[in-house]
Chains A and B, each alone.
Chain A
Amino acid sequence: MLEAKKLSKRYGQHLALEGLDLSIGAGEVFCLLGANGAGKTTTLNLFLGFITPTQGEARVAGLAVQQHEAQVRGLLAYVPELVMLYPRLTGRENLAYFNTLAGRPALSPQESTGWLANAGLQPGAMDVPVGRYSKGMRQKVGIAIALAKGARALLLDEPTSGLDPLASNELSELLLRLSGEGMAVLMATHDLFRAKESGTRVGIMKAGRLVETRATRDLGHAELEQLYLAHMRG
């Protein structure tokens, strides 16, 4: 579903991403680990078409991102680190707005309730202005937007950053459920624990290069940590 071939991005003298080869299938949750500046967000931006690669190609469902930007955007959903929504609109109104922008048919009240509940938002919060939401609640709306869009791949950038343990756990469960439904998930994160819990594979990035890829079932929490630290220190 998500494929990178020799994908590179250079900013002047700085090589932000170097020759990334990656393939993420439907139902897979791939967690990109790495220090700040390792190239995780650059990878997401390249799949989203926010930036153009210096070399190589990113593909979504076989479509080259640069050549089929509009179709690719329809296949992808994106949840940034801080899900920023329109504070004067309610969660339901934000969902309806982004859903329309994605070119989807208008949602009925029952449908929007369904999507928001599916993402874990309490019914009592759905018609409250988002300005009063916590970070976790905003993220749930962000995920509801992604779900309602009917995307086939989900890109998340540091989704557990700043979340309390319960919200973080709910997110893990949701990702597992989505992967079970055939969604391909690419998640950039610093959270080794959640990567192990949610991911089917992890990739460790360092200085713009993907230096290690492992299936999470082959790793325990401690092993993953040791592996990560070894790469960071090495």
Chain B
Amino acid sequence: MIRAIARKEWMELSRDGRFRVAGALVFLLALVGIAVGALHVRDSRAEREAGARLTRQHWLEQGEKNPHSAAHYGVWAFKPESVLAAFDRGVEPYLGVAVYLEAHKRNATQYRPAADATAAARFGELTGAGVLQLLVPLLIILLTYSAFTAEREQGTLRLLLSTGVRRHQLVLGKALGIGLALAALLVPLFVVVVVLVVGLGGGAGVSPGELLGRLSGLSLGYGLYLAGFVFLGLAVSAWARTSRGALVALLGVWMVNALLVPRLAVDAARAWAPVPTAQDFARQLAEDYEKGLSGHDPVDQRQAALERETLARYGAASLEALPVNFRGIALQAGEEYSNRVGAQRFGELEARYGEQERLHRFFAPLSPMLALRHLSASLARTDLSAHLRFTRQAEQYRQGLVKQMNDTITFRSKYGDADYKADASLWREVPELSLDEERLPEALGAQVPGLLLLGFWLAWTTFFALRACARLSAV
């Protein structure tokens, strides 16, 4: 029975010019979004890989110099571009893509793609994820708003109910039919994403199993979200007296879900956990490095205390009498102090980001799109968590590199030997930056609440549809 209803819905939709035109438009938009995203990922990956090669080459070919100078010379770390950014760019455009790693200070990431965007691009970037999150629900509204009201308005409802068909069968059959029509649209898009991801060298840094798991997670998340809209549309159509009323109600829900709540969530997050501007943050950081975290712990006082402590530890009368180069020890101590400063200030900033994200998620029950956005960006490795994972690893690498340079001064040179220089053999000892990316179980683990919320969204819309349909009357 449900299959027969679904088949009839499918036949009607496939012959409905409105669906064909709207469906083709949405399909094309999503296709363009994904194709443009794929081109961006290809170019971006090539640029970053070239950048990584170049910075390594510069490091190795920097010539003979003091290791501390080499630490100042520094290297660039480039954030790897996820292949799934072709589908969902997440927060990537608003965060930097590279960070300069040098002695004494932790730098913020630079080169935000959004900063280079034209004014027109600020209205919103067309991505496959954006089309699925915003436009496909609109298409579903178009397909469902009159599912029952039209039966009532056209008079088919009386004939339909006189057959003895059960109301829950009508809801499920219609949902299945509309789901089939959507699948005809979305499955080819999914295939395109898979082909493009594989074509982009999906294997680079991502195992096929990992990629398949992420694509399955994305399918599950988007499936729950869109199926919820199908049942919501059916529920409102069964509940409303007229098609116009149903359409207005559904468009209202769409606006709340897609525009109002996300906007409110962003504003509330900013107000609840404000973050300093980039300039203020940099100024505060520079001041902390100079004056100490307390503001009463200047660098010269720290230096004097270290001298006393080092001489006492080695039982030496002077710095010249030490078996190690005190300059290296002092540099490393200064480095460790600045590391603590950086860890504290960046930690505070990240904590603010975390608070903002938590508040953002707090709004998700009012807008399933928020839950889906987090899930989608997380599985595409384009969320804040992926960015912070990169910055932390880059910082760890920076600290290791600078320590290696300082230790070289400490143990391979003498105090007062201002001419000491290391050569390429030392530069080669420094390993290349290797990033450990988040694995699927970790990403899914963090997204369990979001998945549960999307499951709940589908469950309640289904319940609402069944309840509303149970009230359907032929008179």
Contacts and interface: CB of A to CB of B under 8 A. Distances in A.
Nearest to B4: A100
Contact of B162 (A78, A93, A100, A103): A78
A131 to B, nearest CB: 10
A128 to B, nearest CB: 13
B471 interface: no
B156 A84 contact: yes
B428 interface: no
B163 A98 contact: yes
Size class of the B contact interface (CB-based, 8 Å):
20 to 34
A163 to B, nearest CB: 16
A80 interface: yes
A208 to B, nearest CB: 16
A15 to B, nearest CB: 17
Given A50-B161, A50-B474, A78-B162, A97 B156 contact: no
Nearest to A85: B156
Interface in A43-81: 45, 48, 50-51, 69-70, 73-74, 76-78, 80
A80 B8 contact: no
Contacts of B423: none
A203 interface: no
A86 B162 contact: no
A76 B159 contact: no
B159 A80 contact: yes
A76 B162 contact: yes
Contacts of B159: 78, 80, 83-85, 98, 142, 145
B12 A89 contact: yes
Contact of A73 (B5, B162, B473): B162
A88 B164 contact: no
B168 to A, nearest CB: 13
A86 B12 contact: yes
Nearest to B13: A88
Interface string B1-17: 10011001001100110
B8 A103 contact: no
A224 interface: no
B475 interface: yes
B160 interface: yes
A48 B162 CA distance: 7
A48 B474 contact: yes
B475 to A, nearest CB: 5
B392 interface: no
B475 A45 contact: yes
A82 interface: yes
A101 interface: yes
A119 to B, nearest CB: 15
Contact of B8 (A78, A97, A129, A149): A97
B154 interface: yes
B155 interface: yes
Contact of A101 (B12, B158, B165): B165
A86 B156 contact: yes
Contacts of A76: 162
B332 to A, nearest CB: 78
B1 A100 contact: yes
Contacts of B15: 88, 129
Contacts of B158: 50, 78, 80
Q: Which of A78, A101, A142 has the most CB of B within 10 A?
A: A101
A102 interface: yes
A89 B159 CA distance: 15
B16 A88 contact: yes
Contact of A51 (B160, B164, B475): B475
Contact of B163 (A50, A80, A86, A101): A101
Interface in B289-346: none
Contacts of B473: 50
Nearest to A76: B162
Nearest to A75: B164
A98 B5 CA distance: 9
Given A78-B158, A80-B158, A103-B1, A86 B8 contact: yes
A85 to B, nearest CB: 7
Nearest to B12: A88
A51 B8 CA distance: 28
Nearest to A50: B474
A83 B12 CA distance: 18
B11 A50 contact: no
Contacts of A88: 11-12, 15-16
6 contacts: A50-B158, A78-B159, A89-B11, A98-B159, A101-B163, A102-B165
Given A69-B164, A80-B158, A88-B12, 19 more contacts: A45-B475, A50-B158, A50-B475, A51-B475, A73-B164, A74-B164, A77-B162, A80-B155, A84-B155, A84-B156, A86-B156, A93-B8, A98-B163, A100-B4, A101-B4, A103-B164, A129-B15, A145-B159, A149-B163
Q: Which 6 A-B pairs have the closest CB atoms?
A: A73-B164, A84-B155, A100-B4, A78-B162, A101-B163, A50-B474
Interface of A: 45, 48, 50-51, 69-70, 73-74, 76-78, 80, 82-86, 88-89, 93, 97-98, 100-103, 129, 142, 145, 149
